[in-house]
Structure 1
Amino acid sequence: MKKLTMFIVSDSVGETAELVAKAAASQFREGLETVSLKRFSHIEDETQINEIVYLAKAQQAVIVYTLVKSCMRTKIKKECQNAGIKCIDLLGPIVEQLGIELGEKPLEEPGLVRKLDEDYFKKIDAIEFAVKYDDGRDPRGILKADIVLIGVSRTSKTPLSQYLAHQRYKVANVPLVPEVEPPEELFNIDPKKCFALVISPQKLNSIRKERLKALGLKDDANYARFERIEEEIAHFNDVIDKIGCTIIDVTNRAVEETANVIITELQANSK
């Protein structure tokens, strides 16, 4: 029965190399007594490689590495050969082959996979947040949000929330109607993160009529009448005067354009 010692060497965290090493070792049970894995993370200096190879030789270890810089891969391979120990390059052959296939040089920047993973999960969190706190369902989301959208019905609050969520912003949106008092949380947030969406009465009338038709209803319902729209807009103006937030006219703006205005203002305010 043999004892296998593997050194996992990476210029990032080393999770990928360790998982592959474990998966490979799991295929050998009869002749293998124990498997010992030691991870060496964030290795970006050639002197570190010398020390690792020295330890590997002393412990009769196999070195498994994922190093994105070609100079570091060359260094560790050469040192292992000089020391007479085994080493396995998990990343180099794939990167080199992809470089040939794509006709370009790799970035050779450590940690990009982790950055991509973190970015992905941040986007998922933001999307789930936008769904949870859509349409004023839970006013607690107002205090947690990066962006708060307010406006009367049919001013594109929900699609705008989802678009901004895909840009990694946590967004809560709140509809304003005269019969319902706006949540107290609206008046307790930084007005710089609150954006009021305004639209012309004529455009809103047209949108609401089309909405009623899509639902199989008559387009002369109170919801689409000018008197009702003007009442809602008057209430909307009262609320935004109290908050003191930024007003954005979405009458002739696509969702993407409105999102860009919001993001630009947020970035300007953060400076």
Structure 2
Amino acid sequence: MPDHMTNLHLVSDSTGETLNSMARAVLARFDEPQVVQHRWSLVRSRLQLDRVLEGIQAEPGPVWFTLVDRSLRLALEEVCMRLGIRCVSVLDDTLDIMQQEIGERAQARRGAQHVMDADYFRRIDAMHYVLAHDDGQGAAGIHDADVLLVGVSRSSKTPTCFYLANRGIKAANIPLVPGAPLPEELDTASCPIVGLTIDAEALIEIRRHRLRLIGTGGVRTDANDYVDPDAVKAEILAARRLCVSRGWPVIDVTRRSIEETAATVLQLMDAWHQRRRDGSKRPVALPPRT
């Protein structure tokens, strides 16, 4: 573990989300990195850049940037060179590769990925859909879904649906409740259906935490079927058997992040659509976890 603090300056002329994502991905490779991230977003004038440069001089450290304006880029690189600070434009190499492959120069557009285009409105529409079809709501609209997630209560269905909505995917989720009938719409759904399961001990702990948050009205949490070990194990087993009998692939989310679960759902969706195109009747196989 490093014994010193490192400053990392993230300088962007847009929201800075690209740099933030890259920083998360890189720093995740280190054990407890002692890094202070200085986020400088919407830097679009020399006055704004001067404030950034003052901050860099006061707390020197590597600089990552995404700046379209050439004069601002040069000014930032010049100061960093004078101070002996590493400075890198994080998109340059990838842009160069794609320009060579596509045979066209990339347009100098700030925050091009954030424009209010058809993709933007598709994500907003998907978010509204998830809100309206969370936890079994709006069963009549299930046929508009891109994917259906089923699973026992507290198996991360809702957060996974919201993550997928940010990718423009309309995801509805349906809880598998012991003794409760399934919505008839599941029998005629025209989209992939994916089951989510989780280890019993992990689920019990999540549910106990949930009960503590909402209050239990004096009922002992360990005496409730909702968290009773035998009842929970039976509930999970019944849900898994249901998914297997219906030919729905099942993802174990016990040690998966929401991002990993969503990525696997997307892979299963692709496989489902490929099978439809090929006319195959084989069940969708769960992709290997890497």
**Same fold flag (TM > 0.5):** yes
Residue 126 of structure 1 aligns with which residue? 126
Corresponding position: 1:230 with 2:233 = yes
Comparing 241-250 and 113-122, the one that deviates more: 113-122
CA distance in 2, matches of 1:141, 1:126: 13
Residue 265 of structure 1 aligns with which residue? 268
Secondary structure, counterpart of 1:245 in structure 2 = coil
Residue 255 of structure 2 aligns with which residue? 252
CA distance in 1, matches of 2:120, 2:140: 25
> How far does the alpha carbon of each residue in 1:126-181 deviate from its partner, in whole angstroms, 9 at most, with x for none?
00000000000111232111010000001011111101100110000000112210
Residue 204 of structure 1 aligns with which residue? 203
Q: Is the 8 A contact 1:186 1:243 kept in 2?
A: no
CA distance in 2, matches of 1:269, 1:215: 38
> How far does the alpha carbon of each residue in 1:82-109 deviate from its partner, in whole angstroms, 9 at most, with x for none?
xxxxxxxxxxxxxxx9344346897249
1:219 to 218, 221, 226: 221
Residue 39 of structure 2 aligns with which residue? none
Residue 172 of structure 2 aligns with which residue? 172
Gaps of 5+ in 1: 1-96
CA distance in 2, matches of 1:113, 1:227: 49
Q: Is the 8 A contact 1:130 1:165 kept in 2?
A: yes
1:1-271 equivalent positions in 2, closer than 5 A: 98-102=69-73, 107-108=106-107, 116-190=116-190, 193-217=192-216, 218-220=220-222, 221-271=224-274
Give the CA deviation at 1:226.
1.5
CA distance in 1, matches of 2:199, 2:161: 21
Give the CA deviation at 1:123.
0.6
* Bigger Rg, which one: 1
- TM-score computed with the length of structure 2 as normaliser: 0.54
- Residue 109 to residue 246, structure 1, CA distance change in 2 (3 Å): farther
Residue 16 of structure 2 aligns with which residue? none
CA distance in 1, matches of 2:250, 2:113: 39
Gaps of 5+ in 2: 1-67, 75-91, 96-104, 275-290
The one-letter amino acid paired with 1:265 is L
How many residues in Structure 1 have an aligned counterpart in Structure 2? Answer: 173
